[in-house]
Amino acid sequence: MGYTKRLLERQEQTGRPVRVGLAGAGQMGTGFVAQVQRIPGLEIGAIADVDPNRVVAAYKTVGIDPEADGGQRHAVLDDAAALATADVDMVVDATGVPEVGAIMSLAALRAGKHVGLLNVECDVTVGWLLAAVARHYGVIYTLCRGDEPAEAVRLVEFARDLAFEVVCAGKGKNNPLNPTATPESLQAEAVSKGMNPKMLCSFVDGSKAMIEMVALANGADLQVTKRGMNGPPATVPTLADVFKPEADGGILPGSGYVDYCTGPVAPGVFVIVKAEDEVVHEEMSYLKMGPGPYFALYRPYHLASIEAPLSIGEAVLHNQASIVPIAWNGEVGAAAKRDLVPGDRLDGIGGTTVYGMAERADVFAAEGLLPLGLVGGARVVRPVAQGELLTYADVEWDRPSVINQLRALQDKQIAEGWSDERVVAEIDAVLQ
């Protein structure tokens, strides 16, 4: 039975559809609104954005006049945290701003609402802690379907359910890697594609690929290959030859890793498996999966906000997450796009000062590296050469942000093995 029938059955039982709150009425958020309103049994109940005019515009794209009922059924909010008290069953963050995602998620989870993130940037910064908060309150915290981590983890689960060894999981990158790209250098291309220049920059400079693959590593209990990963060119037919252990002629240090490639694999996701059993090996080859023993399982697309509503069904109907950190294996650090000097302000993901670089979590902690999700508003206090990863000692903030405070607690949670109850108590003590 698909989600639509079950959503309609739930609506008949409860007398109302599943109501969804959304943070962020930009391109991604507006696409999400359009798709939710098309699905029987779902309804957008509240939208929050710093610009209320964008909220109204998002509603009107699907024929809703939020003023018709005085905002009672379709609320217009200018604060994402206010979604926690809105008349909705689940909130979804499409802002892409780690601080907003952290504040909104924490407030909604505490209020007993499910949380879905299209904000992977937040997840790779404080997702381990937010997952603990969700468990404590008996609700779901999840990344949403449609983004590469959620779709790749489904291939991982499929392979593991069939007792295959998962050698590598990853994605294709749409753009050639250019770590020094800036929004200004991509302005014309962004305009031609109808994109925000900072968003496009986060793709081109590699930040998005690093963020997504680290989310996959944490959500599938896989490892980062090396600092920055490999990112070789590949095609679908060559995936299994490229992403196999070095001992067998590939680029991986072993088995059980995440990585990405450039080339026509994008916009798809893949998993490389190994067939140890001779009969299974022969059967896979007979089924035209390649010569083996390494085989590529490939999904040629991901549908972003179009697929995201599937996570609502999983959370509300099945009390399951689409993808949630089950390990903390990877981190995304902030590397300097240019030589940085004391006094420089870091302008965040997709900006002019830093780009993301994946690293193993144990190395990250040992070196005191700075998470990319914390750079917004930070000021450089000592020189950092172009290409170097920043450390906490390289920056300071004028005032502590919520996500900085949550990250500090998460570091202790991981190091000391806190229970979910301890996590919630420590958050309450720090943020009350």
Residue 194 pLDDT > 90: no
Kindly state whether residues 26 and 112 are assigned to the same domain: yes
Residue 167 has which token pair? 């050698």
* Share of residues in the chain with pLDDT > 90 (%): 94
Does 236 reside within a domain?
Answer: yes
204 and 64 within one domain:
no
Number of domains, the chain:
3
In whole angstroms, how far apart are CA 323 and each of 83, 154, 251, 359? 22, 9, 27, 20
Pair (10, 28) in one structural domain: yes
**Cα separation, 384 vs 316, whole angstroms:** 46
Confirm whether 405 is domain-assigned.
no
How would residue 193 be classed by pLDDT, with cut points 50, 70 and 90? confident
Q: Cα angle at 143 between 59 and 156, to 5 degrees?
A: 135
Question: Are 7 and 127 members of one domain?
Answer: yes
Residues 299 and 310 both lie in one domain: no
Q: Is residue 431 part of a domain?
A: no
Peptide bond preceding 267 in cis form (omega within 30 of 0)? yes
Q: How confident is the model at residue 1 (pLDDT cuts 50, 70, 90)?
A: low
The tens digit of pLDDT for each residue in 368-397 reads 999 999 998 899 999 999 999 999 999 999
The answer to whether position 15 is within a domain reads yes
Residue 404 lies in a domain: no
The 10s digit of each residue's pLDDT in 335-361 is 999 999 999 999 999 999 999 999 999
- Average pLDDT over the chain, rounded to whole? 96
Residues 152 and 300 in one domain: yes
- Do 23 and 97 sit in the same domain of this protein? yes
Cα–Cα distance between 171 and 206 in angstroms, integer? Answer: 12
Residue 16, domain member (yes or no): yes
Model-level pTM?
0.97
- Looking up residue 314, the CATH number of its domain turns out to be 3.40.50.720
Give me the mean pLDDT over the 219-238 stretch.
Answer: 97
Which amino acid is it at 99?
Answer: E
**Within this chain, do residues 296 and 361 fall inside the same structural domain, yes or no?**
no
Residue-number span of the structural domain to which 240 is assigned: 148-304
Q: Are 59 and 76 found together in one domain?
A: yes
Query: Is 224 in the same domain as 358?
Result: no
* Same domain membership, residue 362 and residue 248: no
